[in-house]
Amino acid sequence: MVKKAEIDILLRAFGVSGVQAVSEVEEVEETFDVEVLPRKRSEKKRKLAGYDQFEAEVRHQSSEMSQYYEIFYCLEVSIRQLVENTLSESEGAMWWNSGRVPEGFRTEVSNLKKKDEDSGITPRSENALDYLTFGQLGQLITSNFDLFGASLSSKSAVSRIMNQLNMLRNPIAHCCPLAEDEKERLELTVRDWFRLRS
Q: Does pTM surpass 0.95?
A: no
Q: Could you give the percent of the chain with pLDDT greater than 90?
A: 66
Same domain assignment for residues 142 and 86:
yes
Q: Is 120 left (phi over 0), alpha (psi -120 to 50) or beta?
A: left
Query: Rounded to 5, what percent of the chain is helix, strand, coil?
Result: 70, 0, 30
Per the structure, the count of domains in the chain is: 2
Phi, psi (degrees; rounded to nearest 5) at 26: -65, -35
Same domain assignment for residues 67 and 135:
yes
Asked if residue 50 belongs to a domain, the reply is no
Q: What is the mean pLDDT of residues 138-157?
A: 96
Query: Which domain covers residue 14, as residue numbers?
Result: 1-44
Same domain assignment for residues 34 and 98:
no
User: 3 burial class (0-12, 13-18, 19+ CB within 10 angstroms)?
Assistant: exposed
Same domain assignment for residues 40 and 93:
no
Tell me the C-alpha distance between 185 and 197, whole Å: 18
Same domain assignment for residues 36 and 60:
no
- For 162-174, the pLDDT digits (tens) are 999 999 999 999 9
pLDDT at 41: 46
DSSP state of 133: -
Same domain assignment for residues 30 and 75:
no
Tell me the C-alpha distance between 84 and 128, whole Å: 10
Sign of CA dihedral 84, 88, 93, 96: negative
Asked if residue 110 belongs to a domain, the reply is yes
